[in-house]
Structure formats: C-alpha cells, structure tokens
C-alpha cells in the first residue's frame, strides 16, 4: 500500500512522487507500505499552509482547543489495541509494550487539553493608575521531529501541547516508523483539528529534516534523537527559532551494599532489556558496590538468560527485535568490541537469526551482560541503544557518583538502596535530569518535567510536565495599562 503526506488539508504524494519502503524488523520480508520520500518543496508547502492556519486556531477559545484534544483522547482510547498491533509490527516492541504506549497517548491528550484551559498570565505590582499584566501567546509554526523508538508517545507529548497553546504543527516522524506518524495525524484530524493546521511530511532525516531547519517561517523546532543530529539542528537554524532538543543518554543503575541482589537484578532487567534496550532512558551501565558485585552479576545473568526473545506478538515473548538493521549491526559490533577489550561476556550478545527459523528474517539478539570491563572501555561511555549491560564495581558512594557522571551525557540514573542519607546525597549531587530510586531508569510520569544535563539536552525547556512544558510553546507579552 502507498501512503501519503498530509499538506494544506489534503492527502498528497511527495512533490517528486518518490517513495521509500517500510518493513517489519521482526521479518524484513514483511512490507508495511511505501511512504512519500519528501523534500524541500514539500516542507515549503507545509509551512505555508500551517502559517496561514494557525492564527485563527490561536484566536479560538481555549475550550475549542481543549475539546478537540479531549476528542482525540477518546478516539485513541477506542483505537488503542488496533494501533498497538500495528506498532508491534512496525517497530518491533512486544504487544504489551505497544499497548502501554498506545494507551498513554490518550492520557497525553487529556493532560494537555486541560493545559489549554490553564494558559494564564500574571499581574504585577505597579505605580498608581497603571495595571501591568502578562499574556501568553502561541509561538506560531512548530516543527516536530521524532524518533522511532516511541513513535506515538514522543510525538503526542510534543504535538499535544503545541496545539493546546494555539500553534500549528509540521510533523516529521522517523522514516523507520512512518505508519505510526500517519495514525497519530489521522486521530487528530478525526477529532476536529483544522486540516490545514496539522501537516504530516514523511521522509528521510537527511532530506526532510535538513529542509525543515533551512526553511524560513518555522518559529520553533522540538526534536528528540541523537546528539549529532541535535547539534546539527541547533547550528543550522536562525537565532530567532526556538529549539528544544532531547538527545542521547548513557544511563547507569547504581547498587549500594545494602541492596538485595535479586531486587537489583529485577530493576536492572526492566531498565536494560525492556523495549529491547531501545529507550533513551534505558540502563546501559550498572555500578555495583564491590561486596555485592559477583552476586548481582550472577542474578542479572540468570534473569537475562530467562528472557524469551522473538516476534512481539508471540506467546511468552518478553523482548522483541531491534528496530532496524543498523541497530542490530551496532549492538553486535559493541559485543565484539567488548571481547577485543578483554571484558567477560557473561551471557548473551549473540545473533539469534540462525538459531531459530522463525527469527531468520528479523533483527534478533540475546540480551547481553558484560562484566570486568577496563576503565576506559567504550561500552562504559558510548551510547549503544540496545539490550547490552556493562557492569563495574565501586568502593564508595562518591566514587559511584563520579563514575555515573563521567560520560558526556546526563539523562537518567537509578539508585538501589534503603539508605535514605545516601539517597538524598546522590539525588542532590548527580548531574542527571532524571533520578530514580529503587526503580528502573526507564518510565517517567506524564506530569513531571523531563530532560537531561550535558549532551542529553540543550537545556532550552523541559519536555512534559504539564504547565512547565507550555513555556516552550508560548511567548510572554507584558502589557502596561494606564488610565
């Protein structure tokens, strides 16, 4: 089936008619469809349409914007299981993980529907005979560029607040999950979002993404993806274009000496191997107090060996395929690097495509636990984005904090302990934007601010967090009212 862009209120092919193919990571023979391979001309048309449409949307009453988002939530709730099945087919995550993501979208829409009704300014003390107050106004045209690992939730938590604030949106989903981008737009249009207000431009990052950063008339860009691409976006746009960039992570779980090894292993499993390790907040490193090191390595290896890997809809499967051939090759290459560095491959890190005919045409690997790495190991510093855990030991809390913080990233970190003073010291000291205690690095609340330190974020504005995130999607105007 050939799918289309949505530009200027219509479903259309790319300007050149070119397409690209979308295939399932569980079986690369499974063709999901062909999608527009768009370029600069498509982006220009989308910007012109959205720029024309957004002022009327911004001028509409907040109830109109809220009502559309509430309706989108209801539609998404009805379609959640259907869209989840397509998500598993397209991205590879298990059906349970896909259902959780699909259902979360409805919650996102409801959260920001409420924020549309709470966009208020403030009044300020002033001299006699004058009132000073502030107004919040829409930014204008917002470009939303999202990754493949959470193709629904990443997009919804950007598009929903943008619309709630009165903006128009140009949406460029990942070329690895274009169908999910289309489904999200279909839901919003069915809910009553004005057709010309929301543009969907499918295509490859190096063409469509670059065209977006080069196109005049875009007032803000919100992006989630790699640090390299985020840095390129930041350097490409004009100084008056807002940028919200959420980028990579090299997240650690720290296990103190008072922790239970079995509990620690269960927490690490969820953070490292859930979603096939393809979460920006996923656990990539584990730091264990030396007295517990061997016990935690053994428990985690046992847990990893018990994980059933396979197609996301198969009975009993806990971990699906990697989402792309590139991710599959990258994960296997890092396991090879670990061997070259002299590390111990405790378990996993092997291709499963030759071991089971049902897996022969997908991107399946066994979850890897790697121990005894040298201090300068690349696995301790570089983002892998797959089900690979590197484990090291430490002697003091200060040493653990220093090791956890020494990478260029600072997104999420987890601490496993019952020592409250250690928890408080850790939370106040570590340079990470998300700190979890006795829980996995993955999983964040819809209403809590999200973002990292260092190369994990450009620090412009937090994502999520209800009212907090609305600062990015609105401008503040001060009004001095005299008699």
By CB atoms closer than 10 A (0-12, 13-18, 19+), residue 59 is exposed
CA distance 364 to 366: 7
Percentage of residues of the chain with pLDDT beyond 70: 100
pLDDT surpassing 90 at residue 48: yes
pLDDT surpassing 90 at residue 52: yes
Residue with the bigger pLDDT between 459 and 293: it is 293
Q: If pLDDT is split at 50, 70 and 90, which confidence band does 377 have?
A: very high
Can you give the pLDDT at residue 32?
A: 98
pLDDT surpassing 80 at residue 58: yes
pLDDT surpassing 80 at residue 333: yes
* Residue-wise pLDDT tens digits, 60-81: 999 999 999 999 999 999 999 9
Can you give the pLDDT at residue 132?
A: 96
Instruction: Tell me the three-class secondary structure of 21-81, residue by residue.
Output: EEECCCCCCCEEEEEECCCHHHHHHHHHHHHHHHHHHHHCCHHHHHHHHHHHHHHHHHHHH
pLDDT surpassing 90 at residue 462: no
Q: 396 φ, ψ to 5°?
A: -130, 160
Sign of the torsion angle spanned by Cα atoms 349, 353, 358, 364 = positive
Contact 198, 185 (CB under 8 A): yes
What are the residue numbers of the active site? 246
Q: Which of 169, 168, 172 is CA-nearest to residue 147?
A: 172
Q: Which CATH class is domain 5-247+458-482?
A: alpha beta
Q: Which CATH number fits domain 251-437: 3.10.450.30, 3.40.50.620, 3.40.309.10, 3.30.390.10?
A: 3.40.309.10
Can you give the pLDDT at residue 461?
A: 80
In the chain, domain spans: 5-247+458-482, 251-437
Q: If pLDDT is split at 50, 70 and 90, which confidence band does 128 have?
A: confident
Mean pLDDT computed over 51-56: 98
- Give the least confident one: 139-143, 187-191, 437-441, 479-483: 479-483
* Residue-wise pLDDT tens digits, 210-268: 999 999 999 999 999 999 999 999 988 888 899 999 999 999 999 999 999 999 999 99
pLDDT surpassing 80 at residue 354: yes
Q: Which residue, chain included where needed, has tokens 């790699």? A: 226
Q: Which of 167, 183, 206 is CA-nearest to residue 38?
A: 206
* Residue-wise pLDDT tens digits, 272-312: 999 999 999 999 999 999 999 999 999 999 999 999 999 99
Q: If pLDDT is split at 50, 70 and 90, which confidence band does 1 have?
A: confident
- Give the least confident one: 93-102, 389-398, 463-472: 463-472
* Residue-wise pLDDT tens digits, 178-202: 999 999 999 999 999 999 999 999 9
């Amino acid at each position: 089936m050939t799918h289309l862009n949505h530009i200027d209120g219509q479903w259309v092919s790319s300007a050149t008619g070119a397409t690209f193919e979308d295939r399932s990571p569980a079986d690369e023979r499974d063709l999901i469809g062909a999608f527009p391979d768009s370029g600069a001309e498509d982006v220009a048309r989308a910007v012109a349409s959205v720029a024309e449409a957004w002022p009327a949307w911004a001028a509409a009453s907040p109830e109109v914007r809220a009502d559309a988002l509430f309706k989108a939530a209801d539609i998404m709730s009805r379609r959640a299981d259907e869209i989840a099945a397509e998500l598993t087919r397209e991205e590879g995550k298990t059906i349970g993980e896909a259902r959780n993501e699909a259902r979360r979208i409805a919650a996102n829409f409801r959260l920001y529907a409420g924020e549309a009704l709470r966009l208020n300014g403030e009044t300020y003390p002033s001299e006699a005979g004058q009132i000073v107050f502030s107004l919040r106004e829409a930014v204008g045209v917002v470009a939303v560029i999202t990754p493949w690992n959470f193709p629904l939730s990443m997009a919804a938590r950007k598009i929903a607040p943008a619309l709630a604030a009165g903006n128009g949106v140009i949406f460029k989903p990942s070329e690895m999950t274009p169908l999910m981008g289309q489904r999200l737009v279909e839901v919003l249009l069915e809910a009553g979002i004005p057709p010309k207000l929301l543009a969907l431009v499918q295509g490859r990052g190096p063409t469509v993404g670059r065209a977006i950063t080069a196109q005049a008339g875009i007032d803000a860009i919100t992006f989630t993806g790699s640090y390299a691409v985020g840095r390129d976006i930041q350097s490409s746009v004009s100084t008056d274009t807002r940028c919200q960039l959420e980028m990579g992570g090299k997240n650690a779980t720290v296990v103190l000496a008072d922790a239970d090894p079995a509990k620690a292993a269960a927490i690490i499993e969820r953070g490292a191997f859930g979603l096939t390790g393809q979460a920006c907040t996923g656990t990539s490193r584990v730091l264990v107090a030396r007295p517990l090191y061997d016990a935690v390595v053994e428990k985690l290896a046992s847990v990893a060996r018990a994980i059933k890997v396979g197609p996301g809809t198969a009975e009993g499967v806990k971990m699906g395929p990697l989402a792309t051939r590139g991710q599959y090759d990258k994960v296997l290459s890092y396991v090879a690097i670990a061997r070259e560095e002299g590390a111990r491959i405790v378990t996993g890190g092997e291709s499963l495509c030759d071991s089971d005919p049902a897996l022969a045409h997908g991107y399946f690997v066994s979850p890897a636990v790697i121990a005894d790495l040298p201090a300068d190991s690349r696995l301790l510093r570089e983002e892998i984005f797959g089900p690979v855990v590197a484990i090291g030991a430490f002697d003091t809390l200060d040493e653990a904090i220093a090791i956890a913080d020494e990478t260029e990233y600072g997104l999420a970190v987890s601490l496993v302990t019952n020592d409250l003073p250690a928890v408080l010291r850790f939370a106040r000291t570590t340079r990470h934007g998300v700190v979890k205690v006795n829980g996995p690095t993955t999983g964040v609340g819809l209403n809590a601010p999200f973002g990292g330190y260092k190369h994990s974020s450009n620090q412009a504005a937090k994502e999520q967090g209800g009212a907090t995130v609305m600062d990015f999607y609105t401008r503040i105007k001060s009004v001095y009212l005299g008699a």
